[in-house]
Amino acid sequence: MKLPAAMQVSVRLPTRLLYSGSARKLHAVAESGAFGLLPGHADHVAALVPSVLVVTDTAGSELFFGIDHGLLVKHDQQVDIAVRRGVRGDSLDALSAAVAASLHEVDEEERVARTALSRLETGIVRQFGALRKPER
Q: What is the set of domains in the chain, with CATH numbers?
A: 7-89 (2.60.15.10)
Q: Which amino acid is at 92?
A: L
Three-class DSSP category at 37: strand
Is pLDDT above 90 for 24?
Answer: yes
pLDDT at residue number 19: 95
- Read off the pLDDT of each residue in 79-106 and give the average, rounded to a whole number: 78
Q: What is the pLDDT of residue 103?
A: 63
pLDDT at position 129 is 78
pTM over 0.85: no
pLDDT at 105 over 90: no
What residues contact residue 22 under an 8 Å CB cut-off, 6+ apart? Answer: 6, 7, 8, 9, 57, 58
Residue type, 71: L
pLDDT at 17 over 90: yes
Contact present, 31 and 69 (Cβ < 8 Å): no
List phi, psi (to 5°) of 10: -130, 135
